[in-house]
Amino acid sequence: MTATAPAPRPAAAASPPRPPRARRTRRGGAGGAALTVLTWAIALVFVSPALWMVLTAFKTEGAAQTDPPTLFFEPTLEQLAGVLSADFLPYLGNSLIATLASTALVLVLGTPAAYALSIRPVKRTKDALFFFISTKMLPLVAVVVPIYVAAAEVSMLDNIWTLVVLYTAMNLPIAVWMLRSFFLEVPTGVVEAAQMEGASLPRVLWSVMLPIMAPGVAATALICMIFAWNEFFFAVNLTASQAATVPVFLVGFITSEGLYWAQLAAAATLASLPIVVIGWMAQRQLVRGLSMGAVK
């Protein structure tokens, strides 16, 4: 007599999701929302001075001087028009020339230097890098007198090209450090493949490495532009009327009678606009450049 095989047991029905897991999901969603709100709140705190400056630029001088500050007012373009009619454009032109020319020189000089220090390091590479960055530790007030005397001897006082040279020297160490870090992030296999194809070192630099690290170059250029645009010490001590820049123009609103808040806010808004526009246009490249090397 043959034994019959036992009948297969029916498959267990799928169990419903557990409530604790659902609660954990809801908690995670609530925590993410709270973190988002906190992030926006912190961002608004940091941005609030700039927002208040822009709002004050559209106030009358009387509304800008009230205590407590006026939140609801009738906007006016009187202050912006007054700034534009007060010879603002020559100062703006000087700032544009000094910033763009010095940034271009920084990239032209700093890119080969950073390339050499990254692809062909020598024993004293760290010493050279430390020397570059140590120049930023010297107070500007310690060198302004020798620079003033030298500029006077060659008749370069109140000359925009004096500021171009100084801004180039000021930003070059930072650019070399930044560009070198971006060069080190380029895979060595790409460089070796190009060299095996017969490409020379300059060809590897301009045709292979620079297209890869273009976001890093954009980030370096933007930072150098910000430093040059905001520089005040050299501009106020080495210029008078022909080569004065926007920061020098803003000082004119500080008088013995007090501060003209609305006019100063309007001038600062117009002074900040070019850099804000350039940063907005290059924001994609800037984010990619600043995040290079963050994820391997």
- Give all domains of the chain, ordered by start, each with its CATH number: 30-76 (no CATH), 87-290 (1.10.3720.10)
Which tokens in the block code for residue 19? Answer: 């409530």
Residue 61: predicted pLDDT: 83
- Give the residue among 171, 202, 203 at the shortest CA–CA distance from 104: 171
Residue 67: predicted pLDDT: 78
Q: Are 183 and 119 in contact (CB under 8 A)?
A: yes
Tell me the torsion sign for CA atoms 252, 254, 259, 265.
positive
Q: Are 70 and 59 in contact (CB under 8 A)?
A: yes
Q: How many CB atoms lie within 10 A of CB 270?
A: 20
Residue 137: predicted pLDDT: 84
Q: Are 114 and 180 in contact (CB under 8 A)?
A: yes
Which DSSP symbol is given to 9? P
Q: Which helix (H) or strand (E) holds 282?
A: none
Q: Where does residue 275 rank: exposed (0-12), middle (13-18), buried (19+ CB within 10 A)?
A: middle
Between helix 261-281 and helix 214-230 the angle, nearest 10°, is 170
Q: Are 263 and 78 in contact (CB under 8 A)?
A: no
Cβ-count burial 150-189 (b if 16+ within 10 Å, e if not): ebeeeebbebbebbbbbbbebbbbbbbbbbbbbbbebeee
- List the chain pLDDT tens, one digit each, 296 residues: 455 555 555 555 555 555 555 455 555 567 778 888 888 899 888 888 888 899 989 988 888 888 787 778 888 888 888 888 888 889 999 999 999 999 999 999 998 888 888 877 777 777 778 887 888 888 888 889 999 999 999 989 999 999 999 999 999 999 998 888 888 887 777 777 887 877 777 787 787 888 888 888 888 898 899 999 999 999 999 998 889 999 999 888 777 776 788 888 999 999 998 888 888 887 776 666 555 544 44
258 forms beta bridges with 255
**Angstrom distance (rounded) from CA 264 to CA 273:** 14
Residue 282: predicted pLDDT: 73
Q: How many CB atoms lie within 10 A of CB 195?
A: 14
Enter the pTM of the model. Answer: 0.78
Q: Are 112 and 120 in contact (CB under 8 A)?
A: no
